[in-house]
Amino acid sequence: MADERAGRIADFIEPLRVEPGSDVRLDRDFDPRYKAGLKKRDGAELLRSGVSLLAEYQERLAAQDTYGVLLCLQAIDAGGKDGTIRHVMSGVNPQGVRVSSFKVPSAEELDHDYLWRYARRLPARGEIAIFNRSHYEEVLVVRVHPDHLVRQKLPHDACGPDVWDRRYREINRWEHYLTDNGFKVVKIFLNLSKEEQRARFLQRIDRPEKNWKFSAADVRERARWEDYQDAFSAMLSATSTKWAPWYVVPADRKWFARICSAAVLAHTLMDIDPQYPDVGDEARRELLVTRRELEAEAPAGAAADPYADSRRSGKRKRG
Ligand code: ATP
Ligand code: MG
């Protein structure tokens, strides 16, 4: 059953995966409106089952305490990062997840190497960390606006024309190191069309309760649409690896983007297949002794083990 589920999810996300070493051109290779033949009305049920699957696997991940997961989310403005995180993680225990958002770096962050601030927010074992924007901004916004690179105070020979290829290499190696040490890295790019971005910006202007989400800077960035598309394509081509693949999630339909994102994360967790720890024979024997002691403490008229009783009667009712 579990294998069947895992197989179905793997097939579902396969068209979204960026083949390592491939030469991606976003506009040619990925359609922001793709929906795998699904209808919106099927979406709610699919997302619900994805969310409960995530809850189950996250509990096992935490119990095993051996692996951690890093999910990086990248998108153009209004791509739907916040809503995706809210919906996909809605069923998991908040103690096992930490979300970090990365904005323009602070003076302290600029005083360190460019990966420093991301390394500080990595997951612990047993945890899922979500990066809302991530170290990939270092080859996206920083590439589109090179004045950000100037602010990073790099030595002269570290910011030549080869800086982007070098960063891709460094990021790939960093993610390889994390994977080798038990931290799975998976990356989602929410692929929004220019027309859908226009519609969402207008909605943010038209609806007063959404005005706070809109800034003039968003429109300035939109004017650089083609440069961003090029930077995304170059990033996807250079940094989708066997150990840390990119998935390009069609983002024009929010409901579909959420199903895909849940499926990518579920696939990563199923691949780890975390197990509840086995306490071993000795500890199990001790538990049984304690059980007998607790049963002996039952007050007059109370069941010796109310939990076992209710399980037995539940089974009888179902059976
Ligand atoms: P929202 O959905 O709320 O708009 P957001 O992620 O767009 O979320 P903002 O505060 O609007 O958050 O924008 C964060 C800004 O920080 C983005 O414009 C992004 O490009 C910028 N940023 C992130 N990382 C870096 C970086 N390393 N160098 C320069 N700018 C960065
Ligand atoms: Mg923004």
Q: Please indicate, yes or no, whether residues 267 and 291 belong to a single structural domain of this protein.
A: no
Its pTM stands at 0.94
Are the beta carbons of 276 and 62 closer than 8 angstroms?
Answer: no
Phi-psi region for residue 21, left (φ > 0), alpha (ψ -120 to 50) or beta? left
Tell me, yes or no, whether 190 lies in a domain: yes
Residues 262 and 310 in one domain: no
Domain match, 233 and 105 both: yes
Q: What is the DSSP letter of 17?
A: B
- Distance, C-alpha 295 to centroid of its chain: 45
Among 77, 103, 154, the mutation site with the greatest number of ligand 1 atoms within 8 A of its Cβ is 103
Quote the ligand 2 centre to 244 CA distance (angstroms): 26
Ligand 1 mutation target, pool 73, 117, 137, most atoms within 8 A of CB: 137
Output the six-digit token pair for 274. Answer: 């975390």
| 139 and 165 part of one domain | yes
Q: Is residue 160 part of a domain?
A: yes
- Give the position, in ligand 1's atom list, of the atom nearest the Cα of 138: 27
Q: What is the DSSP string of 214-283?
A: --HHHHHHHTTHHHHHHHHHHHHHHH--SSS-EEEEE-SSHHHHHHHHHHHHHHHHHHH---PPP--HHH
30 and 87 co-located in one domain: yes
Is the separation of the CB atoms in 150 and 163 below 8 Å? no
Cα 202 from Cα 214, distance rounded (Å): 9
DSSP state, residue 100 = E
Question: Ligand nearest 102 Cα, by number?
Answer: 1
DSSP 223-237: TTHHHHHHHHHHHHH
- Ligand 2 centroid – CA 41 distance (Å): 30
Regarding the beta carbon of 105 and ligand 1, being less than 6 Å apart is answered yes
The reply to whether ligand 1 has any atom less than 6 angstroms from the CB of 102 is yes
Residues 170 and 311 grouped into a single domain: no
Burial class (CB in 10 A: 0-12, 13-18, 19+), 148: middle
Residue 183: what are its φ and ψ, rounded to 5°? -115, 105
pLDDT (0 to 100) of residue 176 = 98
Distance, CA of 189 to CA of 249 (rounded, Å): 6
- Examine residue 64 and state whether it is found in any structural domain, yes or no: yes
Q: Does residue 287 fall inside a structural domain?
A: yes
Q: Residue 166: what pLDDT? A: 98
Tell me, what's the pLDDT at 316? 57
Instruction: Provide the 10 A C-beta neighbour count for residue 173.
Output: 11
Kindly report the CATH number assigned to the domain that includes residue 183.
3.40.50.300
pLDDT of residue 313: 77
Maximum CA extent, the chain: 82
CB of 134 closer than 8 Å to CB of 105:
no
Residues 160 and 13 placed together within one structural domain of the fold: yes
245 and 311 fall within a common domain? no
Residue 193 shares a structural domain with residue 310: no
Do residue 177 and residue 265 come from a single domain?
yes
Based on the fold, state whether residues 240 and 300 are members of the same structural domain: no
**CB-based contact 130:73 (threshold 8 Å):** yes
pLDDT of residue 280: 93
- Residue 103 Cβ < 6 Å to ligand 1: yes
* pLDDT value of position 202: 97
CA pseudo-torsion sign 100, 105, 110, 111: negative
The pLDDT score that the predictor gives to residue 319 is 46
Residue 277 placed within a domain: no
For the chain, what is the domain count?
2
Instruction: Based on the fold, state whether residues 301 and 259 are members of the same structural domain.
Output: no
Whether residue 77 has its Cβ less than 6 Å from ligand 1: yes
- pLDDT per residue over 26-84, tens digit each? 999 999 999 999 999 989 999 999 999 999 999 999 999 999 999 999 999 999 999 99
CA distance 214 to 66: 41
Cα 228 from Cα 233, distance rounded (Å)? 8
Which residue, by CA, sits nearest to atom 1 of ligand 1? Answer: 213
What is the DSSP secondary structure assignment for residue 156, as one 8-state letter?
G
Spell out a b/e string for 262-282, using b for 16 or more CB atoms within 10 Å of the CB, else e. Answer: bbbbbbbbbebebeeeeeeee
Low-confidence ranges of the chain (pLDDT < 70): 1-2, 315-319
Residue 211 counted as domain residue: yes
Q: How far is the CA of 225 from the centre of ligand 2 (A)?
A: 15
Regarding the beta carbon of 150 and ligand 1, being less than 6 Å apart is answered: no
Question: What residue numbers bound the domain in which 304 lies?
Answer: 282-318
Q: Which of 141, 197, 227 to mutate to test the pocket of ligand 1 (most atoms within 8 A of CB)?
A: 141
pLDDT at position 45 is: 93
